[in-house]
Structure 1
Amino acid sequence: MTQQNLYLGIDCGTQGTKAIVLDAATGKVLGLGAASHTLISSANGRREQAPHEWLDAFTEATHRALQQAGVDGQDILAIGVSGQQHGLVLLDDQGQVLRPAKLWCDTETSAENHRLLDYLGGESGSLERLGVAIAPGYTVSKLLWTLEQHPAVFARIAHILLPHDYLNYWLTGRACAEYGDASGTGYFNVRTREWDLPLLRHIDASGRLEAALPHLIEADQAVGRILPAIAEHLGINPNALVSSGGGDNMMGAIGTGNITPGVITMSLGSSGTIYACADQPNVSAQASVATFCSSSGGWLPLICTMNLTNATGVVRELFELDLAAFNTLVEQSPIGAEGVSMLPFLNGERVPALPHASGSLHGLNMTNLNRANLCRAAVEGTTFGLRYGLDLLRQTGLQSHSIRLIGGGSKSPVWRQMVADIMNTEVICTEQSEAAALGAAIQAAWCQSGESLEALCTRCVSLDADSSTRPSATSVSAYQQAYERYQQHVATL
């Protein structure tokens, strides 16, 4: 029997936490566990979560994954953590959470972001200085918001952490960050890979913020060993290493084998993301393209839309449809939904850059207003947003022969065909759809074993040949017309 090399990969997302047990010797995922989170939201754009829920979900998901795998947690060699990007977790000097974490999808700090952008010289000034154009949802505006709205909380800040940094802190007691996730803070220079300390001093001259920054480590470095009490709580080997981890997009890149130029990954999750691998920080003049660092040593040019399955899910719930019934209705409606267009900007939108937009329906009349057309318009509208983003990425010179599709939406054959046709590119799913959790486990193996990341990805990332979907020339043409109509509606905003 092959000696097992067991690693735990965790992905703490907006809706819940996933855990997988990976045997890196065979490349097989042995067990998967999940637990959900709740969201604190209000009409002013507030989107927050209580970090203690992440810890409870981490524990529950880990126990379920170990149970499904039928392995002993004492055999886990290392843990890797993936986390939703941009979120702000503030701790006091005792390591206690000071207030709920503001999330990536929070737009309550739009005014603060606008003022910081003015200070940086607008989007072009931000791109020149940081290599990214700060946007509502990035971490930096959350700091200014905390200073102004909660000065008593601000005065007690001892640690500024991203969600995955906080989970690593809970596991090890060490406050560290790695370059990939740090790229999305808005106070990090992606070209030089350093914190922008003068920007933090502009927010608060006391030096409190820079003193609270985590220590930066490389993607293949360990944060440390798991704390004995946490190891016991999780039922894990007390000698297990905790790898640097990273943002969910960076870990998703590793989990789809997107670690060399030429591959594009598209995620159909609550939000929609598209990213590719680059060996140079080719910063786009387009502010919507975020040239983040990767968690594999290079860069990860990326676009993110704020609305995807969250928007299609609302329509599904409105009509009280299960997924199968929803997909059936989407199929019943023709391409272009008989003239019905949805701009699904229910959370505001980042790509295109419309933070204050709301959702809208266009082209309704007495004959086309039906459930099937509304369901299709929701899926088309969210996918057109991704097409807009892919066009921006392609303008930076990125080439790709196929798109690796992940996330909940990738499980739908109808949606896969729609993506292939709208993007005019072959799409294929990875066998393991929980790519961020898989990437975290692969990174843990890279960190602990010293084996090359390329070798680990070759063994642990498999493509699902049955999911391969090619574009149909007739449909490509029909979607192009519907996409141009979408662009006209967006232009009116």
Structure 2
Amino acid sequence: MYLGIDCGTQGTKALLITEAGAVRGRGYARHQLIERASGAREQDPQWWVDALRTSVTQAVSHHGAEVLALGVSGQQHGLVVLDEAKQVIRPAKLWNDTETAPQNAALIERLGGKSAMMERFGILPMTGYTVSKLLWIKENEPENFARIRHILLPHEYLNFWLTGQMYAEYGDASGTAFFDIRTREWVREILDEIDGGTGQLAAALPPLLKVDQIVGAVRPEVAAELGLSPQCVVSSGGGDNMMGAIGTGNVRPGIVTLSLGTSSTVYSFLEKPLASVDPSVAPFCSSSGGWLPLVCTMNATNVVTQTLHVLGKGVEDIDPILASTNPGADGITFLPFLNGERTPDLPTAQGSMHGVTATNFSAGNLLRSVIEGVTFGVLNGLELILQGQPASKIQVIGGGSRSAEWRQMIADATGAVIQVPIEEEAGCLGAAIQAMYAYKSQQETPVTFAVLSERLVSVDEEKTAHPRAEKRPAYRAAQDRYNAVLKAQFPNL
């Protein structure tokens, strides 16, 4: 059997599957979150370990000795810093931490500006990426900065706890912004700009693994605690988006994955890096051997949930409201930037509503405008990734995928067939599939990701949404209006 673990922002999930993909166990444990008005979003890595203990124990209850390999999916961009004794120095700053925005802007300027960074390193740091967190610690916590001897991402820290070994892999490393996605190597020059060329930060980076390599075996004491076989090995793992790609079969060109969770992401597998990249696109590597250009927006189901709360509604009200209102919300446009925004890069932006009149101001139109705002933001990103090519099929995952009317909205707005994988926990499934891939590679019985996904990833046909051509013009007009309002509000974009 194979175990997939997904350490997200809100909690840690675990999924146990057989060789054929049958589910044999699940587990879940919530995390706490440190939030400050400054934009700080942090978690103590010990909370992740505690949640992993709980979720894995639940998932493997009667089958732990049969687990051959496990993989860990983790929230991208988080920064875990350890001292010489390999002890955590301070809480991890997360992907949605925006108080590092000044440091991100300063680094871009110091390294020659946006165009120069794209040309030199193949990626433009966004607020929330790992690199600016290091500069923030240097400027705000110099004593802690001086103690840094190891730099890990969330999934790498859990791999370290499981095995005692520190390694990185190409996919999650892409989101640090001190990694060249074209050469797949760490970039010391960027770190030297932060530590003054002392080499402190470059020396703190873990070595990189290829996807067919393993981190190591689970430590005996950890295996005993979790009820796992001491022979169980740990694959390289990766970022949650990279694992979500594997878990939706997005391991070959032509497939798009759109995640509607706390944040929203959209990405598509490529065998080569994009030759020309818009700065809004994160040209990441995949965790399956290729590349995974990705766009992330920081406001998705969190904004929808908050709006429902304000209206005194629940998630069960989404579908009836969308079904009873018109595309375009009768002229209301909502910019959903309640948490700032990454794409477009507006870390200090606020949400705003436009086009409200005495005749269109209703609870239904308000909710629709919010969901359309979230949708148009991520579809703008999809257009950048596809570079003018239409999407024919999109796999939708995350909490938002449970809404039939939201799925239909995406189908109508894009002209694509929308599918929902049967396994909702794509990150967990992707981690388990990667573990299977790595294990079989080590056993010299290799199998491709395409073959594995064909066998292990299936869609729920009842949730498939087909586009309605007659609705497309109304959504195109609404998206054009959204973009016009966005440009008027932020003319420097």
Class of the TM-score when normalised by the shorter of the 2 chains: over 0.9
1:161 paired residue among 152, 158, 165: 152
1:476 paired residue among 462, 472, 476: 472
Quote the offset at 1:398 in angstroms. Answer: 5.5
CA separation in 1, counterparts of 2:277 and 2:59? 43
- Are 2:391 and 2:414, in contact at CA under 8 Å, matched by a contact in 1? no
The answer for the alignment partner of 1:142 in structure 2 is: 133
Quote the offset at 1:227 in angstroms. Answer: 0.8
- Are 1:47 and 1:106, in contact at CA under 8 Å, matched by a contact in 2? yes
Aligned to 2:6, the other structure's residue is in SS state strand
Amino acid at match of 2:2: Y
- Are 1:35 and 1:61, in contact at CA under 8 Å, matched by a contact in 2? yes
Matches within 5 A, 1:83-482: 83-204=74-195, 205-395=197-387, 400-450=391-441, 451-452=446-447, 453-482=449-478
1:49 paired residue among 30, 43, 48: 43
Quote the offset at 1:399 in angstroms. Answer: 5.8
Quote the offset at 1:326 in angstroms. Answer: 3.3
CA separation in 2, counterparts of 1:189 and 1:367? 53
Aligned to 1:430, the other structure's residue is in SS state coil
Matches within 5 A, 1:33-44: 33-44=27-38
- Are 2:277 and 2:283, in contact at CA under 8 Å, matched by a contact in 1? no
CA separation in 2, counterparts of 1:257 and 1:122? 37
- Are 2:264 and 2:296, in contact at CA under 8 Å, matched by a contact in 1? yes
- Are 1:23 and 1:29, in contact at CA under 8 Å, matched by a contact in 2? yes
- Are 2:419 and 2:465, in contact at CA under 8 Å, matched by a contact in 1? yes
TM-score by length of 2: 0.96
TM-score by length of 1: 0.96
Amino acid at match of 1:351: T
Aligned to 1:304, the other structure's residue is in SS state strand
| Closer/same/farther in 2, CA of residues 322 and 489 from structure 1, 3 Å limit | same
User: Where does the alignment leave 5 or more consecutive residues of structure 1 unmatched?
Assistant: 1-5
CA distances 1:448-476 after superposition (whole Å, capped 9, x unpaired): 12231222211111122222111111211
Aligned to 1:403, the other structure's residue is in SS state strand
CA separation in 1, counterparts of 2:276 and 2:422? 32
Aligned to 2:147, the other structure's residue is in SS state coil
CA separation in 2, counterparts of 1:187 and 1:60? 33
CA separation in 2, counterparts of 1:284 and 1:81? 31
2:486 paired residue among 481, 485, 490: 490
CA separation in 2, counterparts of 1:282 and 1:338? 38
| Closer/same/farther in 2, CA of residues 183 and 131 from structure 1, 3 Å limit | same
What is the RMSD computed on CA atoms of the aligned residues? 1.3
Aligned to 2:279, the other structure's residue is in SS state coil
Quote the offset at 1:283 in angstroms. Answer: 4.1
Quote the offset at 1:130 in angstroms. Answer: 1.5
CA distances 1:107-126 after superposition (whole Å, capped 9, x unpaired): 11111111111122222111
Quote the offset at 1:176 in angstroms. Answer: 0.5
Between stretches 188-197 and 351-360, larger displacement belongs to 351-360
CA distances 1:238-268 after superposition (whole Å, capped 9, x unpaired): 1110100001111111111111111111111
CA separation in 2, counterparts of 1:117 and 1:168? 31
CA separation in 2, counterparts of 1:273 and 1:283? 21
- Are 1:262 and 1:398, in contact at CA under 8 Å, matched by a contact in 2? no
Tell me, yes or no, if structure 1 residue 7 matches structure 2 residue 7. Answer: no
CA separation in 1, counterparts of 2:318 and 2:417? 24
CA distances 1:316-358 after superposition (whole Å, capped 9, x unpaired): 2222322112332233222111222110011111112222211
CA distances 1:366-417 after superposition (whole Å, capped 9, x unpaired): 232221111111111100001111111121x666420111111111101100
CA separation in 1, counterparts of 2:472 and 2:28? 37
- Are 2:395 and 2:419, in contact at CA under 8 Å, matched by a contact in 1? yes
CA separation in 2, counterparts of 1:266 and 1:91? 34
Aligned to 2:464, the other structure's residue is in SS state strand
CA separation in 2, counterparts of 1:398 and 1:98? 46
The answer for the alignment partner of 2:53 in structure 1 is: 59
Amino acid at match of 1:441: A
2:24 paired residue among 26, 30, 39: 30
Quote the offset at 1:64 in angstroms. Answer: 2.1
User: Which 4+ residue blocks in structure 1 deviate beyond 4 angstroms?
Assistant: none
Aligned to 2:32, the other structure's residue is in SS state coil
CA separation in 1, counterparts of 2:184 and 2:330? 49
Amino acid at match of 1:168: N
CA separation in 1, counterparts of 2:424 and 2:274? 29
- Are 1:284 and 1:291, in contact at CA under 8 Å, matched by a contact in 2? no
Q: How many residues align?
A: 483
Quote the offset at 1:281 in angstroms. Answer: 1.2
- Are 1:352 and 1:388, in contact at CA under 8 Å, matched by a contact in 2? no
CA separation in 1, counterparts of 2:148 and 2:389? 41
Aligned to 2:462, the other structure's residue is in SS state strand
CA separation in 2, counterparts of 1:351 and 1:289? 8
CA separation in 1, counterparts of 2:340 and 2:297? 10
Aligned to 2:266, the other structure's residue is in SS state strand
Aligned to 1:183, the other structure's residue is in SS state helix
The answer for the alignment partner of 1:3 in structure 2 is: none
Amino acid at match of 1:177: A
The answer for the alignment partner of 2:63 in structure 1 is: 72
Quote the offset at 1:477 in angstroms. Answer: 1.1
Percent identical across equivalent pairs? Answer: 51
